[in-house]
Structure 1
Amino acid sequence: MKFGLTPWRPASVSSWEPFEEMRRMQERLNRLFGEEGTRSEMMDIDTLTPLVDIKEKDNNIIVTTDLPGVEKKDINIDIRDNKVWISANTHKESKEEKEGYLMRERTYSKFARAFSLPSAVKEGEANAKLEDGVLTITLPKSEIEEKHRIMIE
């Protein structure tokens, strides 16, 4: 072969996997925006990721998200290190009996979302309410500590 070129061989061609590429891109974006480590074993392909609204009002950060069909007892909210993890599981069962047959349907859904907060909060003073499928979490902001300048001798 002239000029040191390597001949093309079909075996050396790798196949492009678009879903794997999207997963890697999501991981890079999470690292870029400080969301690393937010995926967990419960956040798989069947987990719904609800949209979240975050706003600052007075001395609070207010987080709202839609969790349709979810009951209070099925929601978990964890706040630590200025991050919020929301997860919920739902289970519905319906039964219909007509002449000659019985139809029973079961539906399971998982919701999970994790995100960083825009400022420090008082984790122990947070409260949440669920009204008509909308979860609202109110997080009081922490007072910013005054920085102390250290003089060098």
Structure 2
Amino acid sequence: MALFPRSFITNDQSAFPPIFRLLDEFDQYSRSNDRTNQVSNTNTFTPKFDIRELRDSYHLHGELPGIEQKDVEIEFTDASTLTIKGCSERSYLEAESGGSSSPEGETKKKQKKDGAAEDTFWVLERSVGQFSRSFGFPVPVDQDTVKASLKNGILSVVVPKAKKQESRKIIIQ
């Protein structure tokens, strides 16, 4: 049984409007261009976030799978800009049988000429390295009551909007 209907899977690129192909090619180009222009050897990635505005607050929900709470920093860089940054490292559970460094069989051992074992990766799809995302809010926010939680790889941040200052009358003496 196929996961997608036959009409969905096609090698015929004419099924998609040219604008989608252009956008896809631009996305592939920009990703490859970013990798070749990096000055440092530091890996970076961009986690995906959903931002929802409610009447009295903003809710941010971001995907940070495998990242621990201690590896994430949240701060305001100015009155209306929230920055979320952190890092993710690739780690593996050592297999008991000694032949593979991962229970999923992602790697296998290969002997170097000097006799030391080296892992051969067949697929590297997980996002690792440092990340930083900044979010600017169009209205003043209450920085003192921001709440954040990280559960099941989802970072949730609630940023309350600042209460409108009521006008007050000043008495002239």
TM-score calculated relative to the size of structure 2: 0.51
Which structure dedicates a bigger proportion of its chain to strand?
A: 1
The 5-angstrom pairing of residues 2-151 of structure 1 reads 46-79=43-76, 80-94=78-92, 95-96=94-95, 97-98=98-99, 102=117, 108-146=128-166
The residue identity in structure 2 corresponding to 1:116 is: G
Give the superposition deviation at 1:49.
1.4
Give the superposition deviation at 1:64.
1.2
Q: 1:49 to 1:115 in 2, by over 3 A?
A: same
The residue identity in structure 2 corresponding to 1:46 is: N
Report % sequence identity. Answer: 24
Q: Distance in 1 between matches of 2:48 and 2:89?
A: 21
Q: Which runs of 4+ in 1 moved over 4 A?
A: 99-105
TM-score calculated relative to the size of structure 1: 0.57
CA RMSD of aligned residues (A): 3.5
Any idea what the Cα deviations from partners look like across 1:124-144, whole Å, max 9, x if unmatched?
A: 110101111111100111012
The residue identity in structure 2 corresponding to 1:91 is: E
**How many residues are treated as equivalent by the alignment?**
110
The unaligned stretches of length 5 or more in structure 2 are 1-28, 35-39, 101-108, 112-116, 169-173
Report the secondary structure of 2:144's partner residue. Answer: helix
